[in-house]
Chain A
């Protein structure tokens, strides 16, 4: 991914030197031409085209915003309820993510959505301990996190 972006920048720079005008406009035109060239040559790369990973990252951002709004509303409903019948739990969330930044990103996303907080990461980084404010069904909570955030992060980090 980094190599492809560098290549794209390099093509844009070469385009600037060829047209001998050092303006932003020329750079943008060169960048677009470089992107079309990368699109043509995508069979020769070992990894996916970087635009796909960028798109996955944008999708993850929008997914996070959606989850943030939804879970805020649900916590608000819990707070405003006259009777407090919540079921707080700490459960272990097994994760398949390996890189440090993936674990950090997943933990931050879980913590930033209200109602769930990551309290600890196990030493071998395979288990996150999550505190949920209202988890009637633990398997359900694990499934929901796995199917939203973890899947989206894997989509971003897949080479």
Chain B
């Protein structure tokens, strides 16, 4: 019994981009406004889960051919590397540095190493949640 999911799938193809964009926005808003790596990662996961609900596991794995355990490892390395980088400058562990740079497209923007740590958190959250869902959902 195969049902016709045309409405769900067409809706998903539109809504997925909106959720993904919003997750990126939330990730970058983390310093001065509510948001950050954890919430952004969960929203990205939500977008991918919506894809998994509308299509099937194999299609989504073909579309996103990442090994999500490696994504977790990369995220942990980023976070640890950001924390350990402060040792090289003879300051305590986890001390962050920031400065104002004049970027060509964004104008004067302040770059902070906490952003890299946040990216690590983001990758860990996305990788671990998708790994859980794929492990439970897949039957292999």
Residue numbers of A with Cβ under 8 A of B are 100-101, 103-104, 107-108, 118, 120-123, 125
Which of B5-13, B57-65, B109-117 contacts its partner? B5-13
23 contacts between A and B (CB under 8 A): A100-B6, A100-B9, A100-B10, A101-B10, A103-B6, A103-B7, A103-B10, A104-B6, A104-B7, A104-B10, A104-B11, A107-B7, A108-B7, A118-B7, A120-B4, A121-B4, A121-B6, A121-B7, A122-B4, A123-B2, A123-B4, A125-B4, A125-B6
Q: Which residues of B contact A (CB under 8 A)?
A: 2, 4, 6-7, 9-11
Closest to A123 in B: B4
Q: Which of B2, B6, B9, B11 has the most CB of A within 10 A?
A: B6
Closest 8 CB pairs of A and B: A104-B10, A100-B10, A121-B4, A104-B7, A123-B4, A107-B7, A100-B6, A121-B6
Closest Cβ neighbor of A101 among chain B residues? B10
Which residues of chain A come closer than 8 Å to B11, judged between CB atoms?
A: 104
Bound together, the chains give a CA A123 to CA B11 distance in angstroms of 18
C-alpha gap A101/B7 in the complex (Å): 8
Distance, CA A82 to CA B127, complexed state (A) = 58
A104 CB contacts on chain B under 8 angstroms:
6-7, 10-11
Residues from chain A with Cβ under 8 Å of B2 in the complex: 123
Residues of B within 8 A of A100 (CB): 6, 9-10
